[in-house]
Amino acid sequence: MTGDIPGIDAARENVAALHAELVRYGLIVWTGGNVSGRVPGEDLFVIKPSGVSYDDLTPENMILCDLDGNVVPGSSGSERAPSSDTAAHAYVYRHMPDVGGVVHTHSTYAVAWAARGEEIPCVITAMADEFGGPIPVGPFAIIGDDSIGKGIVDTLTGHRSRGVLMQNHGPFTIGATAKDAVKAAVMLEDVARTVHIAAQAGPLLPIPQSAIDSLYHRYQNVYGQASDERR
């Protein structure tokens, strides 16, 4: 019984609450976008239901899925359809075992870069800190099966970035936790906006790769308090 599995209730509460951050930072409109979180130690994750208002999201209506994207029968919320991006999230969890959270948004500036099929170049230190280089572009893929998930995994495997711009669609971010993935989504839109504005004013100035490497190492391993999450 899923009710006997530790961590499910905590995952539901965490993922439900994190959706409010997408609203807070203006990363979504209407019911678009989603956050999912892996249940620690289990081949399960929770994700929002499809087409439900963010105001109506609760821990109880977060949907529990296995790593094939199937809704777990009899679990809380199982009478609802899961997010249309569930197959993509499931593919990421199956193929990237260190990923604990996945986020998708339709944030304006990131989608604008995706519409051009253009990676965001690493020209500001905040990008070097958070993403360790440019934000890459993944292939065009149709929603509904795991094609998007495959594109995410293929693009981010071996890449330091925790975000990808799926061509003609929008950004997906990953993280060690769902909160980590949400932070990456917030930061991705922030740098997408800044670099877009800078490009309108004139040529962008590249940061040397050695400096990018140094900034990334400092931020990921030194910045912040030792007792806190680094990211």
Catalytic (active-site) positions:
104, 106, 129, 169, 223
How far apart CA 210 and CA 127 sit, in angstroms, is 14
Bridge partners of 135, per DSSP, are: 120
Strand order in the sheet with 101-104: 63-66, 44-47, 34-38, 101-104, 170-175, 163-166, 137-138
- CB neighbours (10 Å) of residue 227? 5
Q: Which helix (H) or strand (E) segment is 137 a member of?
A: strand 137-138
Q: Which amino acid is at 200?
A: Q
Structural tokens at position 55: 């105001």
